[in-house]
Amino acid sequence: MALRPMRVDWVATPPPGAYQRRDLGRPRQDYAGPPSYPVPPRWGFPLLAWRWPTSVAVDADEPVDSVDRVQRLARTASHALGLAALTGLWAAGSEIWRYVLLLLSRYGALSESTVGVSDAMVVSSSIVMLVATAMAVVFTLLWLRRARRAAASAAGYAPSRSDTEVLVSLFIPGVNLVVPGSVAAELEHAALRLPVDARPRPSRLIRWWWGLWAFTCLFSAFTIAWSFRDSVQAMADGVLLHAVADLLAVAVAILTAVVVRRTTTCLLPVDPSTFRRMRVVGVKDAPAPELRTFRAAGSPR
């Protein structure tokens, strides 16, 4: 004997006390205002304040919005390079002051306090400059790593050198004169979304930075080699050479900050508001348009 499933009807009724009893015998003639709920409604949106959506990283190594990470690192690297430039100016001023004191010492003895202050300024400015330069190098390399990845993602092809090869090439004498400029040119090529089969042609800014970088490295090596000479005139010339080397380092830091800002701008999405809208102001030597044989409904006669 087959059993048939029983039919169950669900009936929803309000909870006790939700509605007050009303006198239905006498109709209400006056307006009692807008309708109201006897109990708080249990439907609607959650009681949350509006907030901007946050980006959720799919991978810990590759965030979704890597261009924003590059932009933040670019600001940090620019600030570190600016600090290195300021400390370089301080070091150069200390060396120039020492050279001026050497010139004045030819006409008489200098006070012990003046020489002590000069030596303290030179030593302290050199230490602070080395620390600031190390910080600037670290943040710039971190930016370079992120920028190369973002440029490769935007252009669709990977760079020719790995991050390890670029890092090692900076510490090899002779190679560090060529590879940094080549890496900057390749990064600019990829940031501009140029094809992979085209040869990278560095811009004027990259060429100036490349030449200044190579000249500063060679001049710094020459200054270090000059400091091993022990004659009085060589020591005096060494003070002036150190001042020039510090000024060249300041120029490299400032130009590097400009390169970082410009390359980061190339990686950012294009803002449509920056384009100029074109409009037709006149047509010359164009054939006359054909006139319609009928008039559209509703058009003025």
Long-range contacts of 57-60 (CB under 8 A, 24+ apart): none
Asked whether the predicted pLDDT for residue 97 surpasses 80, the reply is yes
The full length of the chain comes to: 301
> Which residue, among 246, 184, 233, 231, has the nearest Cα to 210 in the 3D structure?
184
Residues contacting residue 29 through CB under 8 Å, at least 6 positions apart: none
Pairwise CA distance, residues 133 & 80, whole Å: 8
Report the mean per-residue pLDDT for the chain. 81
Of the candidates 176, 177, 152, 154, the residue with the CA atom closest to the CA atom of residue 165: 176
Residue 230: DSSP 8-state: -
Q: What is the pLDDT of residues 136-164, one digit of tens each?
A: 999 999 999 999 988 888 888 888 888 88
Is 53's pLDDT higher than 60? no
The predicted model gives 67-80 an average pLDDT of: 90
Distance CA 106, CA 95 (A): 18
Which pLDDT does position 24 carry in this prediction?
53
Q: Distance of alpha carbon 15 from its chain centroid, rounded? A: 60
pLDDT digits (tens, 9 = 90+) for 121-136: 999 999 999 999 999 9
| Dist CA 104 CA 102 (whole Å) | 5
Q: CB within 8 A of 78, min separation 6: which ones?
A: 257, 260, 261
For residue range 172-190, what is the model confidence (pLDDT) as tens digits? Answer: 888 889 999 999 999 998 8
CA 276 to chain centre: 26
Residue 183: C-alpha distances to residues 75, 141, 227, 256 (Å)? 20, 12, 32, 13
* CA angle (221 as vertex; 215, 224 as ends), nearest 5: 140
Rg of the Cα atoms in the chain: 37
Domain ranges of the chain: 66-269
> pTM of whole model > 0.75?
no
In the block, residue with structure tokens 């390399």: 141
For residue 102, count other CB atoms closer than 10 A to its CB: 16
